[in-house]
Structure 1
Amino acid sequence: MVVFITLLIWSWNNNDDRFSGATTDKSYTYIQPTQHQTQYLNQSYVSLPLHVDLSYDWAQFRTWKKDGWTLASTRDSRHRDSSFLQGLQDYTTKGHTYLELDALVKTNKDPIQATLLDLTVVIYFDGGDLQQLDAYLEMLVKQTAQPKALWILWTPSSTLSSRAAIATQLAKVITTIPAKIIDISKDGDHYGWIKRLQQISTAWVWLVDMEKDLSHINAVPNNAMAYLYLSAHLPDYKDTLLGMNAMLLPANVNKDPRNDHLQQPQFVCLPSVELPAVSQPADLLLGAWLMKKSWLSTLTLDLMRRTPQSSLPLPYFISYSLRYHLQIPTIALPPPTLSSSSHCSSIRKAYLNDKPWIQQQALHTAPSALDFRQISVARHQQTPIMYLIHGPEQAYSLYPLICRLHQQPLHIVVTGKQHGLSGTTLRQTMESRNDCLGLRTVIMHDLDLPGYSNNNDDYVTSRAMDGIRQLDHVLRPGVLLHVSSASSSLHRALSLAYSMSSSFQNNNNDYDGLTLINLPMDQIRHALWIADLPLKSLKHWNIISIQLVVITDRRPHSFSRLLQTCGRSYLLGDRVDLTINMEQSADRVTRNLVNSFEWPNGRKIIRHRIKKGGLMPAIVESWYPRDNDDYGVILEDDISVSPLFYTWAKYNILKYRYGGPDDLSRQVFGVSLYSPRNVELHLVGRRPFDPNQVLAGTIYHPRTPYASQIPCSWGAVYFPEHWREFHSFLSAQLEDLSHNQYLNISLPMSRSDRWKKSWKKYFIQLVYLRGYVMIYPNFQSFESFATNHLETGTHVQSEKRVNIIDTFLVPLMQRDTLIHQLPHQRLPDLDQLPVLDLWGRLTSHQVLDDRANEWHPQISACVRRKETFTPDDILCPFTHIPAWERPDTPATTKKIKVYTMTEVIEPLAYVTAAATTKDDDDEYEWPISIDVALFSPLVDEVLMEPDDQEQDLQLDWPSIKALSTAQKVKI
């Protein structure tokens, strides 16, 4: 019995999470933990920090000389066309020096008035010293460019100044700039005065915070205002928050535990003689901010909603709010002269002691500039996967997947305590467990979203999307995985964003290429193999298309059984189209069943033949791939499938088509859903087959899947390139058989050469001549994902069915033991699979290729070509064919009727003429490949007798019956 440990523990000491009794809101139901769950509540938590990989020495700003200031780009292909600004934030593009910026300003194509700036200077004066205000006003007058207006925001509670004193100082210094003093004492707490700034008439604002310590004012150069203003109009800096005095905070996402232990977090004040004097990202500006007036509405909105960020220190609040909502980065420009700055002592103290700020940092949703840099430095690490968890139910469902040992680091984003689960609770829960293998790769982030209330769904969803964008902006995850829910507004927003642009995108295409994986909550336990797949495989999750292709005739009961088993399968939330191919002789019951059957998982496509085709065209013509990411699951109507057939198919496709070595993955032509009990290609007849016996005594695990050359016709997935090649190969042979019979393609020692009307005969030929293989399951007791019931039809007569069905019928996997039976609970790599030939004998890929090389000259006059997925090199007649028997000589050229065609605008005549060969046969190069596209249409004279594989079955009935009896006795 397999038990999934999916346990989530809630801490009674955590007062911020609502776990006391059942509570229901608009989207979720929170449930009381069971007695089994609460037994872990009193366990002491281990002190392993989930937010850091202890095995990696994270870079710091102090190590930049060793690491290099400009780093090699670690961005994937979706960011190759990124802007200068994005490269600057990633530390993959070097910033500008002061001289370089000055040169760029002078060569800027857009003319800007550099003497009278479209700018309002706003001085926030609360509790300051009049002497400092006087010094700042004098500095303002000395600027080489003047603003259009000056505002002084004044609080009457200040004991060091009065309105009259301020007016006196203003009159002494300011004579040319329109100025006014505004009383902001009634504007409320948390920077309510910012709302007043909406009345500013200029396009730009230079906001100045008159702190008690403004000793750096005297060092402000006379061209500072024009320098910032003109730089803000450069293409590289047009959407940035600019200043010259700034601060770099310690890492937040990838915190250095050594700094935490020593309680010495790294702060850097800019400008700094220890860092390069170039423009660079900053976490916050100090003293003054140059911004667009239009951005103030975002700050005001945060204040009106009283978000937790609105109570943070003003420098951090401004930078955080603009970055969070508008993706506006904070950039510190180098000053004309470089000197060490010491004006950030007050902000450093607030960071260490301000409780709201400490709580905000603990959520790990506010990446700092150092986090950006660390991700770029750690270029040896793989791109992470990001999980989004919205409430405790989703955490409970995702827990088994999270705890598998992933190939990439994981970042878990939770929506916060107001939605039933905080990052602290989830982290403590996971740390208290001993069954989570992936614990060391987990980094936790808490969006801390407000709870749902009347008519605020859009606001909560918008906040969530902003938080996800911000984390993606620095982490660059390749995949975002979350639980799909039709009733969740967040799920709808994510799906809409993905469907509209195939990714999250902003103006800089920052989220282009992010793969969104939506998993139904009740099917996550069937997709635990996701942890086994590399990122390059998971990136194809939504790209591949797996179609169900069903062939039926006059067996409505069998057909209904197949449809029902398909409908009960776990499709992992994917869109899966169903194509039903009906033979011309399909009865009324079958047609009614086809019309009435509902398929909610994708399109239902119905095809009906108007002329009896037989089994070969019914199978081969049932599906043709749309592109190289289109896969066909071909099922005859006497087959039924396991609920897990789709998970097996998708796991194998992602693993072996997109995650393995290219040279080997191109040799795999499909994935079998069926586990055969016998091999039919021995010349003497069918022989029993058991992979356990073949692999006994070898290095392979008993449950290792294997690669076999035998194509499966009883439930299998076929790959697009190989199926198209097979179409061309089969068409050429059928054309040749009906006309000149130049081709003589045969196989050594294969019973399939006796077959004349079986599609498998030709596929086996192609497989042998190419060295192709198909992946087969190898579970206990032949447990499979498809089985054949041997219904009466082409291959089986009703009176013989009872005697042979036990030899072909295999048990279907109903309980999901897929990964638990696999070696090491995952599919082996492609080059680690055992390889079997057409006769079920253990061999290797190299031997298969050598056999193909050896046999190719026996059937073709052309040199063998590999990995082309075209059969031209196989379809080459030999040069000994007499010239008068060649189909392209004048003696055998068919006359083609001339068709005329009249156009509405201009009459045109289209004439098709047959090409003639040169008179001199010596100039004609032989041999040549047969081009299927040049074949003339062939009228299909279908023979109505059964497929010739039935004759082999009839010959084998005595041995099959004996085999079945022997197996029963053995059991």
Structure 2
Amino acid sequence: MGYARSKPTESNSSLEPFQEKNTLFPARFFASTVASIPSLEVNFVYIVDDDMIPGKKMLQILSHVSGIEKYKNSVLGNIGRILPFRQKDFSFPSYRKFLSNEAGLYLPDPAYDITVHKMVQVDFLSSSWFLSAELVKALFIETPFSFTTSEDLHLSYQLHKYRNAGSFVLPVDSTDKETWGDSEHRLAYVSKTTVIFKDIVQVRDEQWWRAQTTGYVTQWAAMYPQKIDAFLYAHSVDEVRALAPLLENFKSFVGKKTYIVVFGGNFCPCDDVAIALNWPKSVCKERRFKIFDLQIGALSGTWNSEVPILQAVYSSLKGLIKIHNPGVIITVTDIDPNVKKALKMASEMNPNGTALVLLPRPSVSKVLWMADLRSTALQNEIPISFNMDSKVDEATIKLIDSFQWPRGPKTFRRRIIQGGLIRAVSESWYPTSNDDYGLLLEDDIEVSPYYCLWIKYALLAYHYDPQVSLPYLSSISLYTPRLVEVVKERPRWNATEFFKRIHPNSPYLHQLPCSWGAVFFPKHWREFYVYMNMRFTKGAQANPVQIPNSRTNGWQASWKKFLIDMMYIRGYISLYPNFPNQASFSTNHMEPGAHISAKDNVVQHDKANFEVPLLVEDFRTLLPNRKLPSASKLSSLNLFNQPVSLKGLKAAGAKLGQDVLRCNNATEIVTVDHITGLPLRCSKFT
């Protein structure tokens, strides 16, 4: 073994070798960590097995390559191995079967005429290692799995996991022995490597499998990125039991790929996890993806702070997410705060999008429907914003100030000049991305305990499902109306009775937007913002949109009137719930305001027609077949509660011919830029 110490001079730098006796396996790397002592001024370490004889140019080549930007944060060598790939039965074979040549790829390997002509990234290096003195310390972040073998794999695994450093085999000039890492090539020409003993093979098998299941992105993983539905993370065996029903439900669906990730070590042993899941303990020994045991107990040293746990969980999950690309990570809300931070950081690092969902333990059994969705990509954090007009009273301000919101950040917005209802609502929210949704609730609205589950379930089923196309769905209502409010007579209407031949509790699509609790979609809200700016008039008669036979033509000071107009002329729809007695996820308490009990409003409002009961039980049991129906089975109604196809809704809007652009009244409607909300062109509808 030797160190390569950099000694700068005015014109160049040289490398001064130091010799040490063969200290065997991890101990030799441990000895090399003295090179990181600042007073020694050692920049690089070159570790060479005692049966390797490097060519005279080797050190010069290594020094040159290590100065290239791409390889500065790397370990370099001359012999490497690519670990086995997954087999057709989804298992991973042995690192090397006893008395068999089956294994991963050995580079270079003249026995199979395999040579290296360019830099090749491998899973680990053997026999020689050249790296910066600082990187050597990574070997002991986790306690080595064994002190008798596998130090080569452990080094590459630790460097990749904690330092994002790769392992590379250098090319050689076959005609110049001085460029060879071993000028006699004794190792490379042996058909069986030095690892031929059965117990050693078993130890190395366990070590590389542990690396792969704790976040090491091997060459197989890099070449064949996976796409799974979910990771379920459990920090303790109790959390495993809490999440078990959801995991079982995921696995009951053909084609679903969901794995459980556990803290491991003595705190959450894999054997105990298997027992809690009613699985055989043998799953902990199989080389198949089922339980990812992070074995955090392998961390070196004592834990005097939260940093080691946070770093270990984050580093492991970051690698596992990169390998498997889960749509969602699901865990319990009361998980260890440091682990929660690590999960959040790791999920946010995935460019393909991985959402972190925190579930209260009692709620796990109520969200088993998540397993039935093709997409589970939805953020868990819900920021809340209170929008107050200038005349808000002192009691309200104090109430809002003391309001506790555990689901995300809380913000206040207060006007200096009284804005009125139109501005209060329409300017209360503007989307920051296409995954930012606005749940608008006026001050006399109350929501059901299940409102959030309804929103998430509906979004995942009808908006994020890659096999569903409902581009004209612009909002999701929490409320089920009892009146047809857009006609003069305002007759009572019962959705359960209306749809009983299909299913009495099937949700439905309606051209009427809801102002008593609804989630609005970002693309359509930007569009509405621009539309209202272009069409706003103080007097109802001056408005260019006049929908035949609609009371909304005479509505004054109503933001909803403009949204109805836009939805009508462009064929947009809202999703509505439909449960017995109009039980809903929101209700209106009909407190006096800009419309209710206003002096200039001649319309009488009977509270019984508007205040509906809130759902206080698991609504999933009421749905057709206990789940939301497919999008193709949703019925659609026009503004007047009459059944009309989605194409028919667009045709009616086009026929009116009153949009901001003049289009063909029979075949075209206005389309917009979904980033700016500005109208672009007339497009044919289908």
State if a TM-score over 0.5 links the two structures.
yes
Q: Which residue of 2 aligns with 1:284?
A: 124
Structure 1's unaligned 5+ residue stretches are 1-116, 122-144, 155-183, 434-439, 505-510, 542-571, 877-971
Which structure would you say has the larger Rg?
1
2:365 paired with 1:517:
no
Q: Which residue of 2 aligns with 1:148?
A: 16
Distance change (3 Å), C-alpha of 1:731 and 1:449: closer
Matches within 5 A, 1:536-935: 538=377, 541=379, 574-581=381-388, 584=391, 593-594=399-400, 597-599=403-405, 601-605=408-412, 607=414, 613=420, 619-620=425-426, 622-623=428-429, 625=431, 629-659=435-465, 664-665=470-471, 667-682=472-487, 684-694=489-499, 696=501, 698=502, 702-730=504-532, 732-735=534-537, 737=539, 743-756=543-556, 758-791=558-591, 794-795=595-596, 804-815=606-617, 817-823=618-624, 825-856=626-657, 864-868=669-673
Q: Which residue of 1 aligns with 2:181?
A: none
Quote the offset at 1:742 in angstroms.
6.2
* Separation of aligned partners in 1, 2:324 and 2:468: 29
Q: Which residue of 2 aligns with 1:554?
A: none
Matches within 5 A, 1:244-259: 244-251=78-85, 256-257=90-91, 259=93
* Separation of aligned partners in 2, 1:251 and 1:858: 59
Quote the offset at 1:772 in angstroms.
0.7
Q: Indicate if the aligned counterparts of 1:640 and 1:787 stay in contact, CA closer than 8 A.
A: yes
* Separation of aligned partners in 2, 1:708 and 1:249: 56
Q: Which residue of 2 aligns with 1:317?
A: 154
Q: Indicate if the aligned counterparts of 1:190 and 1:311 stay in contact, CA closer than 8 A.
A: no
Letter in 2 for 1:839: F
| Deviates most, 747-756 or 639-648 | 747-756
Distance change (3 Å), C-alpha of 1:376 and 1:534: farther
Pick from 297, 305, 310: which aligns with 1:461? Answer: 310
| Deviates most, 650-659 or 854-863 | 854-863
Quote the offset at 1:708 in angstroms.
0.6
Distance change (3 Å), C-alpha of 1:592 and 1:802: farther
Pick from 380, 392, 402: which aligns with 2:247? Answer: 402
2:223 paired with 1:376:
yes
* Separation of aligned partners in 1, 2:660 and 2:201: 82
* Separation of aligned partners in 1, 2:244 and 2:429: 39
Pick from 163, 178, 181: which aligns with 1:326? Answer: 163
User: In the TM superposition, what whole-angstrom CA distance separates every residue of 1:365-399 from its partner, at most 9, and x where no partner exists?
Assistant: 4589995325634x6x5356444321123323332
- SS of 1:735's equivalent? coil
Pick from 413, 418, 421: which aligns with 2:266? Answer: 418
2:71 paired with 1:237:
yes
2:337 paired with 1:471:
no
Quote the offset at 1:466 in angstroms.
3.2
Letter in 2 for 1:673: L
Count of equivalent residues = 635
User: In the TM superposition, what whole-angstrom CA distance separates every residue of 1:661-716 from its partner, at most 9, and x where no partner exists?
Assistant: 79733x222111111233233454414232453361x5xx5543211101212222
Letter in 1 for 2:588: N
Q: Which residue of 2 aligns with 1:169?
A: none
* Separation of aligned partners in 1, 2:343 and 2:367: 21
Distance change (3 Å), C-alpha of 1:455 and 1:515: same
* Separation of aligned partners in 2, 1:735 and 1:626: 28
Distance change (3 Å), C-alpha of 1:674 and 1:120: same
Structure 2's unaligned 5+ residue stretches are 7-12, 176-184, 281-286
Letter in 2 for 1:787: T
- SS of 1:445's equivalent? strand
Distance change (3 Å), C-alpha of 1:824 and 1:190: farther
* Separation of aligned partners in 2, 1:460 and 1:668: 44
Q: Which residue of 1 aligns with 2:182?
A: none
Distance change (3 Å), C-alpha of 1:371 and 1:830: farther
Q: Indicate if the aligned counterparts of 2:83 and 2:219 stay in contact, CA closer than 8 A.
A: no
Q: Indicate if the aligned counterparts of 1:251 and 1:371 stay in contact, CA closer than 8 A.
A: no
2:33 paired with 1:119:
no
2:293 paired with 1:446:
yes
* Separation of aligned partners in 2, 1:454 and 1:238: 31
Quote the offset at 1:262 in angstroms.
9.0
CA RMSD of aligned residues (A): 4.7
Distance change (3 Å), C-alpha of 1:374 and 1:204: closer
* Separation of aligned partners in 2, 1:325 and 1:622: 44
Q: Which residue of 2 aligns with 1:104?
A: none
Q: Indicate if the aligned counterparts of 2:475 and 2:519 stay in contact, CA closer than 8 A.
A: yes
* Separation of aligned partners in 2, 1:353 and 1:483: 40
Letter in 1 for 2:493: P
Q: Which residue of 2 aligns with 1:142?
A: none
User: In the TM superposition, what whole-angstrom CA distance separates every residue of 1:802-833 from its partner, at most 9, and x where no partner exists?
Assistant: 99544433321223x24444445544454543
Pick from 370, 375, 392: which aligns with 2:237? Answer: 392
Distance change (3 Å), C-alpha of 1:318 and 1:751: closer
Quote the offset at 1:249 in angstroms.
3.1
Letter in 2 for 1:649: I
* Separation of aligned partners in 2, 1:824 and 1:360: 47
Quote the offset at 1:625 in angstroms.
4.9
**Identity of matched residues, %:** 24
Quote the offset at 1:258 in angstroms.
8.2
- SS of 1:206's equivalent? strand
Quote the offset at 1:149 in angstroms.
2.4
Quote the offset at 1:208 in angstroms.
1.9
Pick from 31, 44, 47: which aligns with 1:207? Answer: 47
Matches within 5 A, 1:299-378: 299=139, 301-302=140-141, 306-337=143-174, 341=188, 343=190, 345=192, 347-349=194-196, 353=200, 356-361=203-208, 363=210, 365=212, 371-373=218-220, 376-377=223-224
Distance change (3 Å), C-alpha of 1:479 and 1:718: closer
Quote the offset at 1:734 in angstroms.
4.7
User: In the TM superposition, what whole-angstrom CA distance separates every residue of 1:192-221 from its partner, at most 9, and x where no partner exists?
Assistant: 5445555776533332222xxx5xx58x65
User: In the TM superposition, what whole-angstrom CA distance separates every residue of 1:8-58 from its partner, at most 9, and x where no partner exists?
Assistant: xxxxxxxxxxxxxxxxxxxxxxxxxxxxxxxxxxxxxxxxxxxxxxxxxxx
Q: Which residue of 2 aligns with 1:561?
A: none
